[in-house]
């Protein structure tokens, strides 16, 4: 059994960094804990659910996907090398690791996205099993678990009352990470702490079934009224991947940027003609729920939500995907009882 002291997470990070990895971990950043690159001295907080998701590493908020040089009216596209440093996602959440199955699918379902794939291949995913939970967690409602190994290359299990971590390598990448950690992770003995008890808040299958024939329903107006359209939920979401492509240029050179976008924004689907298929916030909220619990299941036989609860923790209007799903579940029960 491979173990290390819970207080020595920084030592592991330092060893991995010395071995050539970029280490991304939950790090104290002002008043919040954020997944970001670890540097010596940074405080790793595996006990706090970071505000952002691990998606940020694989699909950064903004990246250059095209570059052009200009010469008068002529232009020449330049190659854009993909920056894909070898990275360990250390002590991310099992719901972050589980989200990668969907990202992998979207970026490869027939056309392959090299920017994503290069980073994905260079990334070793090492979640920490959750031994505590908060009111917004709902992984168990969407097929996950606080100690799920889905998408993980290795998993850290808190042990001996939170004083140690047991490291279980799962894939070759996980084994390589373990080897790179050297003496900071050693043979030892410890008893894994029980995973957090995350209550099941709704029946996801019932939600998917209800959505199939409730595109038109009063519930959408009720739900949509609260939404400010700020996009925070989509930015914090570990599976949301929608992006915009925008050009910026000077007279000498230009870049084409891929930026995060959000289905919550009014311009997201706006046509050049002025027509907008999803002109109302309620239609946009419906699309968000439908996409995660109906469209993605139809297309890819998986859910588009891993129950991390970040959307609800951030929402300025107090909206919650789990709460909407619970409402839908309740609606479907009422309908069944009739």
Partner 1 sequence: MSPNPQPAPIAATPRGNLYQPLVMKIASAREEAPDVRTLRLEFPDEASRAAFFAKYRVGMFGLYGVPGAGESTFCVASPPTRTGYIECTFRRTGRVTAALRDREVGQAITFRGPYGNCFPIETWKGRNLVFIAGGIALPPLRSVISNVLDRRAEFGKVTILYGARTVADLVYKDELAEWAKRADVNLVTTVDPGGETPDWKGKIGFVPAVLEQAAPGPDNAVALVCGPPIMIKFSLPVLKKLGFPDADTYTTLENRMKCGVGKCGRCNVGSLYVCKDGPVFTVEQLRGMPQGDL
Q: Which residues would be at the binding site for partner 1 (CB under 8 A)?
A: 65-66, 68, 70, 73-77, 79-80, 106-107, 109-115, 215-216, 241-249, 254, 256, 258, 261, 263, 268-273, 275, 277-278, 283, 287, 290-291, 294-295, 298-299
Q: Which is nearer to partner 1, 136 or 287 (CB)?
A: 287
Count of other CB atoms within 10 angstroms of residue 330: 13
Distance, CA of 98 to CA of 130 (rounded, Å): 14
Residue 11 in contact with residue 167, Cβ under 8 Å? no
Q: How far are the Cα atoms of 129, 145, 241 from residue 196, in angstroms, in the given order?
A: 9, 9, 28
Q: Which is nearer to partner 1, 19 or 283 (CB)?
A: 283
CB of 121 to partner 1, least distance (A): 11
Distance, CA of 123 to CA of 173 (rounded, Å): 8
Residue 12 in contact with residue 184, Cβ under 8 Å? yes
CB of 148 to partner 1, least distance (A): 25
Residue 136 in contact with residue 322, Cβ under 8 Å? yes
CB of 325 to partner 1, least distance (A): 18
CB of 281 to partner 1, least distance (A): 14
DSSP 162-217: TTEEEEEE-SHHHHHHHHHTGGGSEE----BPPPP-------HHHHHHHHHT-SS-
Q: Which is nearer to partner 1, 228 or 245 (CB)?
A: 245
Q: Which is nearer to partner 1, 112 or 338 (CB)?
A: 112
Q: Which is nearer to partner 1, 251 or 338 (CB)?
A: 251
Q: Which tokens go with 11?
A: 């030592």
CB of 311 to partner 1, least distance (A): 16
Distance, CA of 255 to CA of 67 (rounded, Å): 4
Q: How far are the Cα atoms of 21, 81, 244, 257 from residue 152, in angstroms, in the given order?
A: 17, 27, 29, 30
CB of 250 to partner 1, least distance (A): 8
CB of 241 to partner 1, least distance (A): 6
DSSP code at position 292? I
Q: Which tokens go with 143?
A: 């097929």
Q: Which tokens go with 40?
A: 């010596």
Q: Which is nearer to partner 1, 30 or 72 (CB)?
A: 72
Q: Which is nearer to partner 1, 19 or 221 (CB)?
A: 221
């Amino acid at each position: 059994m491979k173990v290390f002291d819970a207080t020595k997470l920084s030592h592991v990070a330092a060893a991995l960094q010395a071995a050539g990895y970029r280490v991304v971990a939950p790090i104290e950043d002002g008043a919040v804990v954020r997944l970001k690159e670890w540097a010596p001295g940074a405080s790793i907080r595996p006990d706090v659910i970071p505000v952002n998701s691990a998606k940020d590493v694989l699909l950064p908020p903004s990246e250059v996907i095209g570059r052009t040089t200009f010469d008068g009216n002529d232009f020449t596209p330049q190659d854009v090398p993909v920056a894909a440093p070898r990275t360990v996602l250390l002590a991310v959440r099992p719901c972050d690791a589980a989200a990668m199955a969907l990202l992998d699918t979207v970026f490869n379902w027939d056309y392959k996205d090299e920017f994503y794939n290069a980073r994905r291949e260079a990334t070793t995913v090492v979640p920490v099993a959750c031994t505590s939970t908060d009111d917004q967690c709902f992984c168990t409602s969407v097929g996950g678990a606080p100690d799920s190994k889905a998408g993980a290359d290795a998993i850290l299990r808190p042990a001996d009352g939170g004083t140690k971590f047991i490291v279980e390598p799962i894939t070759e990448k996980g084994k390589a990470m373990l080897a790179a950690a050297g003496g900071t992770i050693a043979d030892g003995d410890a008893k894994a702490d029980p995973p957090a008890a995350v209550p099941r808040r709704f029946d996801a299958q019932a939600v998917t079934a209800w959505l199939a024939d409730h595109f038109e329903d009063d519930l959408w107006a009720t739900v949509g009224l609260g939404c400010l359209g700020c996009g925070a939920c989509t930015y914090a979401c570990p599976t949301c991947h929608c992006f915009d492509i925008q050009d910026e240029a000077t007279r000498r050179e230009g870049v084409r940027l891929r930026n995060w976008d959000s289905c919550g924004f009014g311009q997201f689907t706006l046509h050049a003609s002025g027509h907008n298929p999803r002109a109302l916030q309620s239609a946009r909220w419906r699309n968000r729920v439908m996409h995660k619990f109906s469209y993605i299941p139809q297309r890819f036989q998986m859910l588009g939500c891993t129950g991390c609860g970040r959307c609800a923790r951030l929402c300025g209007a107090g909206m919650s995907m789990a709460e909407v799903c619970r409402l839908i579940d309740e609606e479907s029960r009422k309908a069944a009882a009739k």
